[in-house]
Amino acid sequence: MALFASFTKEIKNLQSSLLSNNSLTLQWCVEAMTLLKKLHSQFLLIILEKSKGIHFTWINDDMLNLYMNESLNIMELCNMLKSSSFKINMYHLTIDTTIKNLNHHEAKAFASMQPIVQRDNKSILIQEMQRDCCSSLVCTIRVAMSLLSYILLNVFMYPTKNYKVEVVDRICCKYSSPIKSFKDSVNELATEFQRKYYKDGERGVIRFYEYEEMEKAIVEAKEKFKSGYEEEEIKRIKDVIFQKSIALKPGLEKFELQVDQVFEEVLKGRNKLLQMVGKANGIFR
């Protein structure tokens, strides 16, 4: 149960950071992905423990199907985050190239550049917890993974449906103290996120801090260029945008690395269960 005390502490740290900062940072996103990986590992361990000594198939093993569905959601999340990160990187490179060559002639072209708009029609399916949730522990882990996925999708500008994440006591009713604390911390993080980013039932624009800072600098530059292109002002604006760009790149690389690690971890888990199914049904020997 010490592990769930650790989960609780990590979720509370995420909530505290969310409460104290105006925007979510890339470091917050890295920590959220790290926790998602740990939750997945625990989820997989529970499935493996419950499957020991059982002859199962895809049809009659609900726990196995549950894991395959949840892990597929996480893999889809990783793909979407990578796609969004790639677009941000391309935008970042375009800005860098334009700024390096910025002069009186290029200023007008820079002023007409458009920010990133995510127009993908994909949206990850984040399942609400069902009343037949197999255990209080599994139920809470699933809610925690869904909550982290939802926040990350919001931060990286993907359209997701308005989704209220809630662990309901009458579904998950039997708790030891560490699991109850874990459940409470998940609820508190969900509540804080909705309080901060939803006004009158509508979600505001949510982006990570480093991207917001770069966008602010770019918007300021565009406004300045509309009124003229003084050499000293162009130099000052170039320096500001370079500083914001430098702050963005390492954080994004660190986040992408963590996304890759989560994807690989989930893929290994799925392959491990596939081998178990194959052996149980005489497909693998």
Angle at 219 between CA 27 and CA 100, to 5 degrees: 80
Cα–Cα dist 122/278, whole Å: 32
Are the C-beta atoms of 11 and 144 separated by less than 8 Å?
yes
| Residue 254, amino acid | K
**C-alpha dist (Å) from residue 82 to 183, 256, 265:** 29, 7, 16
CB-count burial class (<10 Å; 0-12, 13-18, 19+) for 139: buried
| Residue 203, amino acid | R
DSSP labels for 71-85? HHHHHHHHHHHHHHH
33 compared with 175, residue with greater pLDDT: 33
pTM over 0.95? The answer is no
Instruction: Give the residue-averaged pLDDT of 10-35.
Output: 89
Express each pLDDT in 47-96 by its tens digit. Answer: 888 766 555 554 446 778 888 999 999 999 999 999 888 888 888 787 77
44 compared with 119, residue with greater pLDDT: 44
Written in H, E and C, the secondary structure of 34-61 is HHHHHHHHHHHHHHHHHHCCCCCCCCCC
pLDDT band at 113 (very low <50, low <70, confident <90, very high): low
Residues in the chain: 285
Task: Pick the most confident of 101-105, 135-139, 190-194, 275-279.
Answer: 190-194
User: Which stretch of 21-30, 53-62, 78-87, 152-161 has the lowest confidence by average pLDDT?
Assistant: 53-62
Q: What dihedral do alpha carbons 214, 215, 221, 227 form, nearest 10°?
A: -170
> Does residue 202 sit in helix, strand or coil?
strand
Distance separating the N- and C-terminal Cα atoms of the chain: 36
58 compared with 246, residue with greater pLDDT: 246
Q: How many angstroms from the chain centroid is the CA of residue 212?
A: 17
Instruction: Give the residue-averaged pLDDT of 152-180.
Output: 59
